[in-house]
Amino acid sequence: MSNIDRARELRRQMSPPEALLWQHLRARPGGFKFRRQRPLGPYFLDFYCRSAALCIEVDGDAHDMGTAPEDDARRDQWLASRGIRTVRFLAADVGNDTEAVVRHIEDLCASRSPSTGDAGPPPRQRPGRIG
């Protein structure tokens, strides 16, 4: 199965907390665009904001069992080595206070983005002119 096919399957099988969060993130809070189940290297990111280099994970109870904590730490380190920060939310928190989670994500994106305004590119300089 290709990464694209696997990502499509994961999108169809989102957990209820992931689906709830996606309903908010797809509206582009703060003007930030998010992808869901984004393949990146050997991993699939629950949600990803490219402009902020931010990975958002919704963790259920299984993330505390077995080797999951070590696997998550290894994954987070791999992403960090590529300049991508991972933020994790408990599934229960997404369900109990979705608005607060979305506000936190929006604030993180704003703090990590090179420009939060939509000013466009800088004006072109004419050759031979200064300033």
Residues 65-93 have pLDDT tens digits of: 566 788 899 999 999 999 999 999 999 99
Has residue 6 got a pLDDT over 50? yes
pLDDT above 80 for 12:
no
**Helices then strands, each counted (H, E), the chain:** 5, 4
Q: Which residues of 5-16 are buried (b: 16+ CB within 10 A; e: fewer)?
A: eebeebeeebee
pLDDT digits (tens, 9 = 90+) for 23-62: 999 999 999 999 999 999 999 999 999 999 999 999 886 6
Confidence of residue 115 (pLDDT cuts 50, 70, 90): low
Which tokens in the block code for residue 129?
């002119």
How far from each other are the two terminal CA atoms of the chain, in whole angstroms?
A: 54
Distance (Å, whole) CA 126 – CA 26:
40
Q: How far is C-alpha 99 from the geometric centre of its chain's CA atoms? A: 16
Q: Which residues pair with 88 in a beta bridge?
A: 57
Give the Cβ contact number of residue 42 at 10 Å: 8
The pTM score is 0.78
Mean pLDDT of the chain, nearest integer: 84
pLDDT at 54: 97
- When pLDDT is averaged across residues 4-16 and rounded to a whole number, the result is 77
- Residue 88 phi, psi (nearest 5): -115, 140
Q: How large is the average pLDDT for residues 119-125?
A: 42
